[in-house]
Amino acid sequence: MSNDQKTDLQKLIDKIKNIDTAMMTTADDEGSLRSRPMRNMQIKEDGVIWFFTGYESEKTHELQKDAHVNLSYAKPDDQLYVSVSGRAVVSRDKAKIDELWNPALKAWFPEGKEDPNIGLIKVTIDKAEYWDSPSSAMVHLYGV
Amino acid sequence: MSNDQKTDLQKLIDKIKNIDTAMMTTADDEGSLRSRPMRNMQIKEDGVIWFFTGYESEKTHELQKDAHVNLSYAKPDDQLYVSVSGRAVVSRDKAKIDELWNPALKAWFPEGKEDPNIGLIKVTIDKAEYWDSPSSAMVHLYGV
Ligand SMILES: Cc1cc2nc3c(=O)[nH]c(=O)nc-3n(C[C@H](O)[C@H](O)[C@H](O)COP(=O)(O)O)c2cc1C
């Protein structure tokens, strides 16, 4: 990663770190685009964003056929909007699940991190953009 | 439209009528998914949502190649998230531009509604889903 990319990524992290939920958009077999709220688990300096998911779920099936994903972040009170374009991989990486697990996740995985259907979505960022006032033009970040 | 669809659509309108900005996701030539904030102009009982746009813009070019679109609406304070899957048509319908125009749009179209590049995006809803509490399952609306 170049220094410019590092600076951009840090800017992106600063924008989204206080927005705990992203809308994740995926394409289904017919090209129809669906989104759903996803609790943001971790965004790191390596440009990867992690989410928990049911390992078998509609979105993981969609991602296995077409890995493209958009994450949108909205904080209407601050007029802040962020778009992240990337590619997703679905995994069951035990060590990563341990690292990211927290008890609040029991709302989705009542059996805890031993839930047989627990999985992770790892999004690698290709491109990001943000808007932080209604009249401002978009700001490109990262890999344009 | 069936009566069930009418009820669903009314429910959808109630959910999003107080969220003035949607994130609109489109697919580009390579299948990469991009989103951007769009001011919601009108949603009507006929299941159509209107937006203003630059007639020549990246998103209108993307939509002319692949009309699939996702609109996501987030109201984090109320834990409300809505996904609308649909298809978009780009137009320059003069009568509709007159009907929807309001002076606040000068932020994007300084020349007003006579701006040579003014256009509209008309989204016809195929499917919608919403979530209104963190643990709740999604609720399907409209054409599932
Ligand atoms: C709060 C907010 C609302 C916006 N609403 C619109 C809109 O209604 N129509 C529009 O064309 N652009 C709107 N924009 C600008 C777009 O997000 C985007 O930057 C612009 O349309 C160019 O997008 P494109 O290059 O993908 O075509 C808005 C931006 C913000 C921050």
List the CATH number of the domain containing A81: 2.30.110.10
What pLDDT score does A144 carry? 41
- The torsion angles phi and psi of B67, rounded to 5 degrees, stand at -75, -5
User: Residue B83: which of A36, A77, A85 has the nearest Cβ?
Assistant: A36
pLDDT per residue as tens digits for the range A73-127: 999 999 999 999 999 999 999 999 999 999 988 888 999 999 999 999 999 999 9
How many angstroms separate the alpha carbon of residue B37 from the centre of ligand 1? 5
Are the C-beta atoms of residues A121 and A39 closer than 8 Å to each other? Answer: no
Residues of chain B with pLDDT under 50: 144
Q: How far is A81 from chain B (nearest CA, A)?
A: 7
Structural domain count, chain B: 1
Strand positions, DSSP E, chain A: 21-27, 33-39, 42-43, 48-54, 68-75, 80-91, 118-131, 139-141
The Å distance, Cα A112 to ligand 1 centre, comes to 41
In terms of Cα–Cα distance, which of B48, B25, B20 is closest to B104?
Answer: B20
Q: From B92, B67, B69, B70, select the one nearest B81 (Cα to Cα).
A: B70
Q: Whole-angstrom Cα distance, residue A7 to residue B76?
A: 28
What's the complex ipTM? Answer: 0.93
Question: Distance between CA B40 and CA B20 in Å, rounded?
Answer: 5
Give the residue from chain B lying closest to A132, CA to CA. Answer: B37
Structural domain of A115:
3-141
Residue nearest to atom 7 of ligand 1 (CA): B38
